[in-house]
Structure 1
């Protein structure tokens, strides 16, 4: 069984790990820990844009987190705004098959339950990539590419049948 660690600057509800486990078909174990990323963020902040250079932060951290405390995957939930070259912003970033995912929450804000639902979707989306899933063409699937917050709101936290079948085979 894969072990996932979610390090977060955002206060997540106590059942957040259970929700992630549920949508990953209970094939994973999830733990959350609160932390502060201010030091890291300051190193990768583009002052001109007021955003974190997400791909540079990912490239810096990924080799440092492989096998961290026995976890197979690590997700950083960062209370800030991220971007990659060529895009105005990203909700999250990872590499297909990578061990680390970053989720940026600044553009995910809304009333509390909506905010948490958006974070859950982005965490599940980025974890899908870490396990080998690519973007899906089904706009209701969590693996659908979100170009806007409306795209994120439209898609479910669940995976479509095709993505879930592939995910099950990748996780077994």
Structure 2
């Protein structure tokens, strides 16, 4: 069986050594082939001048169009995003397109501790894992420790774990069997 192929696509000026660490962690966790593309320019049609941010759904459509035949595509952006229901979102996913976009700028706020880059990387990983859960059909979870819990603040993001709770793990096991990502589950 082939490994799933995940494409990471930076938008704008998203860069840094943390991307290499993220690729390693994603490849190990998902037991997949993960590749980083060259940065893409934002599609002008996705920007809303009134809100001064990008419409996440249009970025996802743009990503899927540019990515071609890959299993999953995740865009990493340094811009503010909004969705149909919210004026500001950190990430947005699309189940059928198997695509997501994550705004990393907000995840850099309020970094603390001796190793702030590790905290930043952990936040990005949690948002990608949550997006991946949505791409596999999971909805929001009511367990505040589960990665699928919809955080309303960075404190909630920091407090939740970087794995699926037993209920979400069970839902994925029933749907897909024993997939590698569930081996880290609580």
Q: Normalization by structure 2: what TM-score?
A: 0.76
Query: Do the aligned partners of 2:91 and 2:131 also contact (CA within 8 Å) in 1?
Result: yes
**CA drift at 1:92:** 0.7
Q: How many residues end up aligned between the 2 structures?
A: 165
RMSD: 2.3
Q: Which has the larger radius of gyration?
A: 2
Query: Do the aligned partners of 2:73 and 2:100 also contact (CA within 8 Å) in 1?
Result: yes
**CA drift at 1:143:** 0.7
Partner of 1:82: 81
Any idea what SS the aligned residue of 2:50 has? coil
Work out the CA distance in 2 between the residues paired with 1:3 and 1:10: 21
Distance 1:38 1:132, change over 3 A: same
Cα deviation 1:117-156 (Å, max 9, x = unaligned): 1111111110111111111111111111122222211111
Distance 1:152 1:72, change over 3 A: same
Cα deviation 1:60-118 (Å, max 9, x = unaligned): 443x257x2x4211111111110113312111111234321111112111332221111
Larger RCO (CA under 8 A, 6+ residues apart):
1
Work out the CA distance in 2 between the residues paired with 1:82 and 1:168: 32
Q: Which stretch shifts more, 108-117 or 8-17?
A: 8-17
Q: Which stretch shifts more, 159-168 or 70-79?
A: 159-168
Distance 1:17 1:169, change over 3 A: farther
Q: Which stretch shifts more, 135-144 or 110-119?
A: 110-119
Any idea what SS the aligned residue of 2:20 has? coil
Equivalent in 27, 31, 36 of residue 33 of structure 1: 36
Ranges in structure 2 where 5+ consecutive residues have no aligned partner: 178-186
Query: Do the aligned partners of 2:139 and 2:148 also contact (CA within 8 Å) in 1?
Result: yes
Q: Normalization by structure 1: what TM-score?
A: 0.82
Partner of 1:94: 93
Partner of 1:55: 57
Q: How does 1:1-172 map to 2 (within 5 A)?
A: 1-8=3-10, 9-11=14-16, 12-24=18-30, 26=31, 29-40=32-43, 42-62=44-64, 64=65, 68=68, 70-109=69-108, 110=111, 111-172=116-177
Work out the CA distance in 1 between the residues paired with 2:126 and 2:49: 28
Work out the CA distance in 2 between the residues paired with 1:168 and 1:22: 19
Cα deviation 1:24-48 (Å, max 9, x = unaligned): 4x3xx031315323342x4312223
